[in-house]
Structure 1
Amino acid sequence: MLKVQEIRELIKLIDESSISDFTYESNGTKVTLKKENGDVVTVAKPSPAQTQIQEVQEQAPNPTVEKQPVVKEEVKQETKEETTNENTDFNYEIVSPMVGTFYAKPTPDDDPYVQVGDSVDTSSVVCIVEAMKLFNEIEAEVKGKIVEILVDDGELVEYGQPLFRVKKQ
């Protein structure tokens, strides 16, 4: 998801340009910027994220200069439907130990390391996180059953981001 500072920079660029409508979508997050009556209105819809509504009003540094338009930033949370009760039945999350690219399988032609319902042991490899051309095998570190996979193959992951949910045994 875009950071607030990145959204503010986009707002400024759109405000200074002749563009009246701009949409950016990535990894389930959609940001739409529209100019209405000279104001830039931003609506961002992230996948599971905190709901946040924030109004930012920029004042010109010199009181004799005309006041800048009000810029509104609105972030709404979309609800994700849970298909089964099993997805919420977990007591451990396997998290990414680094920033990198998540790979669910050793090669594009192979089967994934694990799937929902698979049992894992403390030393079971569950995925690879590639960082700086190094492919790091991530182990489960617990004995249990995979109940949910939280990221897609090839998706960028952050340090500490949950990758899998596990029901420990």
Structure 2
Amino acid sequence: MDIKEIQNLIKFVAKSGASEVKLEMDDIKITIKTGSEDRSENTTYVQQIPMGAAPVAATPVAQQAPVAAVPAPAADENSKYITIKSPIIGTFYRKPSPDKPMFVEVGKSIKEGDVLCVIEAMKLFNEIESEVSGKIVKVLVDDSSPVEFDQPLFLVDPS
């Protein structure tokens, strides 16, 4: 497959509206990803594999959008705190039910084993207990928001 055929394939995929296409032939692998949410990112990777040899590294054909840098000072001021992260994917709730008070508030002292929140996953409500003692400094997620695995939920001052 020559460069002209690859360019024609990229144009065809872009016009088709597909978000990702993978093509593997005897000596070449092509992955074309188009149409990110903001429509500003188009990436194509071409990997040529010589027969009987180890694969070579994929080379980007199109440039990706630049990644914004995370400010370092914010990380430094939060480094003295312990981050409590979500152990599962689901919906984060700060209350056991709509008519009950919140499990924890900012400024409240907690101890190991205290229930901090509930995460609902597949109609099961999982109580998330603290593994540390300290004081809640910040709640990082809004009530009734979806959370991902390992997403920070709370900042706790252990002192």
Question: What TM-score do the two structures reach when normalised by structure 1?
Answer: 0.54
User: Could you tell me which amino acid in structure 2 is paired with residue 16 of structure 1?
Assistant: S
Aligned pair 1:77/2:83, yes or no?
no
Query: Gaps (5+ residues) in structure 2?
Result: 1-11, 18-34, 47-60
Say if 1:115 and 1:14 are closer, same or farther in 2 by CA, change over 3 A. Answer: farther
Aligned to 1:16: 16
Q: What's the offset of the Cα at 1:91?
A: 3.0
Structure 2 CA distance for aligned equivalents of residues 164 and 15 of structure 1: 45
User: Could you tell me which amino acid in structure 1 is paired with residue 65 of structure 2?
Assistant: E
Say if 1:146 and 1:71 are closer, same or farther in 2 by CA, change over 3 A. Answer: same
User: Could you tell me which amino acid in structure 2 is paired with residue 94 of structure 1?
Assistant: I
Offset from partner CA, 1:77-129 (integer Å, 9 cap, x none): 3768x99x9x6264311111212111111122333211221111112111001
Using the TM superposition, name which of 140-149 and 155-164 deviates more: 155-164
Say if 1:112 and 1:15 are closer, same or farther in 2 by CA, change over 3 A. Answer: farther
Aligned pair 1:57/2:44, yes or no?
yes
Structure 2 CA distance for aligned equivalents of residues 133 and 98 of structure 1: 13
Which structure has more strand as a fraction of its residues? 1
Q: What's the offset of the Cα at 1:146?
A: 0.8
User: Which structure has the bigger radius of gyration?
Assistant: 2
Offset from partner CA, 1:47-75 (integer Å, 9 cap, x none): xxxxxxxx73366xxxxxxxxxx754325
Q: What are the within-5 Å matches in structure 2 for residues 24-63 of structure 1?
A: 31-33=37-39, 41-42=40-41, 56-57=43-44
Aligned pair 1:102/2:114, yes or no?
no
Structure 2 CA distance for aligned equivalents of residues 160 and 132 of structure 1: 18
Say if 1:77 and 1:153 are closer, same or farther in 2 by CA, change over 3 A. Answer: farther
User: Please, what is the CA RMSD of the aligned residues?
Assistant: 3.4
What is the percentage of aligned positions where both structures have the same residue?
39
Structure 2 CA distance for aligned equivalents of residues 15 and 58 of structure 1: 18
